[in-house]
């Protein structure tokens, strides 16, 4: 049995297209993999810096009284390899 799963787009998907990104499907998301050649992009990052659209990266939502302590534990890098940690207060 095949399960249908929609293709997800990041909030800035159209901007990626407008900038000429090469798009691939990965884990149910359409994601840019490059805009120019790999060498040109690496050179640009080395000279100026770069940004990454992390919309497709897994997210965990937590709530409750112990959230502050959990955030302290995670931000103290006690959990293996943490490459990105975003703490949002949506109250």
Q: What is the pLDDT along the chain (91 residues), one digit of tens a residue?
A: 666 668 889 889 999 999 999 999 988 889 999 999 989 999 998 999 888 887 777 677 778 888 778 777 776 555 455 555 666 666 5
Which residues, 6 or more positions from 73, have their beta carbon under 8 angstroms from its beta carbon? 79
51 HSE (CA, 13 A, CB side): 4
Q: What's residue 81's pLDDT?
A: 53
b/e 19-28 (16+ beta carbons within 10 angstroms → b): eebeeeeeee
- For residues 11 and 15, give the distance between their C-alpha atoms in angstroms, rounded to a whole number: 9
Q: With a threshold of 0.75, does the pTM exceed it?
A: no
Q: How far apart are CA 87 and CA 63, in angstroms?
A: 12
The reported pLDDT for the residue numbered 87 is: 62
């Amino acid at each position: 049995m095949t399960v249908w799963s929609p293709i997800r787009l990041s909030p800035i998907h159209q901007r990626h297209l407008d900038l000429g990104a090469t798009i691939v499907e990965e884990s149910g998301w359409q994601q840019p993999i490059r805009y120019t050649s790999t060498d040109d992009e690496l050179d640009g990052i080395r000279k100026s810096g770069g940004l990454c659209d992390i919309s497709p990266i897994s997210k965990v939502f937590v709530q409750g009284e112990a959230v502050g302590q959990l955030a302290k534990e995670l931000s103290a890098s006690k959990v293996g390899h943490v490459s990105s940690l975003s703490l949002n207060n949506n109250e």
